[in-house]
């Protein structure tokens, strides 16, 4: 403010006429008006100006100085662009219950908006987020900004979450970065059949695939036949080792007896329920070796198969 007042006073003084009073001996006082003093501002004509000149030399000088220091400042900005390959969808494979992160890094964004969309099965668009605001009622979605990376997070992925997700930048024309999410259904695996001799040790391994339990404590149990009690509760010599991190369980039954034959069930009881069954055959003596070599035998293995032949013959009317 002080500088502005000083400048106005200086300009007023510079343009106002100055009256000099000169007294000459023997004459009356004579008023002599001197020509006004004019301050001329030297303007560098080499400075570019994209503005029409005003009537004020000072304003013209200030504007030209500003334009020189900010020459074509709009040209300094590049057009927004995505990082990575835009020619194909980014494929994301995920387990059920896992947390999925979608990364969308946009450079030179400035004040342009970024949104996340989901393409439904009927090709309709569902708005998930706009800038840092969430517009879906599904609380499993969250958006964060880390530098130039607009991250969309989906927790506890379900099978119905599979589909196309788009990072949308509101340029003209709009920019889209597509992601294809595939959520795999959980499954439980184990060998379907096992043949052992009496006195041997049964060893079965059960694995749960494509399942993320998060903070939930998984429960894997073993059963034989239709008994609701865990196998280690009804028989000695049973060893069960379960790895909750990899969701695998290893069962060992020592000193097999004929009555140990039957169906063995590996069951996941939490956080969801699944099971798989293995049929265990327990043979006596050298029956297993004869079976593997293809030699016919009248041992207990024939007795094991005989009920099956009887049932098959009954169905075809061969047994009277």
Do 81-184 and 187-282 come out as alike in CATH topology? yes
Whole-model pTM: value is: 0.62
The yes/no answer on whether domain 187-282 falls in CATH 3.30.420.40 is no
How far apart CA 15 and CA 259 sit, in angstroms, is 122
Main-chain phi, psi angles of 7, to 5 degrees: -65, -40
92 touches 183 (CB < 8 A): no
312 touches 224 (CB < 8 A): no
238 touches 252 (CB < 8 A): yes
**Secondary structure element (H or E) that encloses residue 314, with its range:** helix 300-315
Per-residue pLDDT of the chain (320 residues; tens, 9 = 90+): 544 454 455 444 444 444 444 444 554 544 444 454 443 433 344 444 444 555 666 555 555 554 544 444 444 567 888 887 777 889 999 999 999 999 999 988 888 899 999 997 777 889 999 999 999 999 999 999 998 899 999 999 999 999 999 999 988 888 899 999 999 999 999 999 999 999 999 999 999 999 999 888 899 999 998 887 777 777 788 999 999 999 999 999 999 999 999 999 999 998 999 999 999 999 986 555 555 555 444 344 444 444 443 333 443 444 33
User: Would you list the domain boundaries of the chain?
Assistant: 2-70, 81-184, 187-282, 284-320
- What lies within 8 Å, CB to CB, of 239 at 6+ separation is 232, 251, 252, 254
Per-residue pLDDT of 93-103, as tens digits, reads 999 999 999 99
DSSP letters, 17-80, are -EEEEE--TTS--EEEEEPPP-------TTS---S---S-HHHHHHHHHHHHHTTTGGGGPPPP
The yes/no answer on whether domain 81-184 falls in CATH 3.40.50.300 is no
């Amino acid at each position: 403010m002080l500088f502005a007042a000083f400048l106005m006073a200086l300009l007023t003084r510079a343009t106002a006429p100055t009256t000099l009073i000169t007294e000459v001996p023997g004459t009356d006082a004579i008023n002599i008006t001197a020509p006004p003093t004019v301050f001329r501002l030297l303007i560098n004509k080499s400075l570019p100006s994209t503005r029409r000149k005003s009537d004020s030399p000072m304003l013209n000088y200030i504007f030209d100085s500003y334009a020189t220091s900010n020459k074509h400042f709009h040209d300094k900005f590049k057009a927004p662009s995505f990082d990575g390959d835009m020619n194909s969808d980014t494929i994301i494979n995920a387990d059920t219950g896992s947390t999925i992160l979608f990364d969308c890094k946009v450079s030179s964004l400035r004040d342009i908006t970024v949104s996340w969309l989901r393409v439904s099965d009927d090709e309709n668009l569902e708005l998930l987020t706009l800038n840092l605001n969430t517009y879906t009622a599904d609380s499993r979605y969250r958006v964060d900004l880390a530098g130039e990376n607009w991250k969309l997070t989906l927790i506890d992925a379900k099978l119905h979450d599979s589909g196309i997700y788009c990072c949308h930048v509101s340029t003209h024309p709009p920019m889209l970065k597509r992601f294809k999410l595939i959520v795999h259904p959980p499954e439980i695996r184990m060998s379907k059949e096992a043949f052992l001799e009496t006195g041997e040790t049964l060893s079965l391994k059960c694995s749960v695939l494509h399942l993320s339990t998060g903070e939930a404590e998984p429960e894997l149990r073993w059963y034989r036949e239709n008994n609701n009690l865990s196998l280690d509760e009804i028989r000695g010599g049973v060893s069960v080792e379960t790895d909750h991190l990899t969701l695998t369980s290893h069962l060992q039954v020592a000193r097999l007896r004929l009555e140990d034959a039957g169906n063995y069930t590996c069951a996941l009881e939490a956080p969801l329920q699944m099971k798989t069954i293995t049929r265990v055959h327990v043979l006596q003596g050298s029956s297993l070796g004869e079976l593997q070599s293809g030699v016919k035998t009248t041992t207990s293995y024939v007795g094991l198969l005989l009920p099956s032949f009887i049932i098959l013959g009954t169905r075809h009317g061969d047994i009277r």
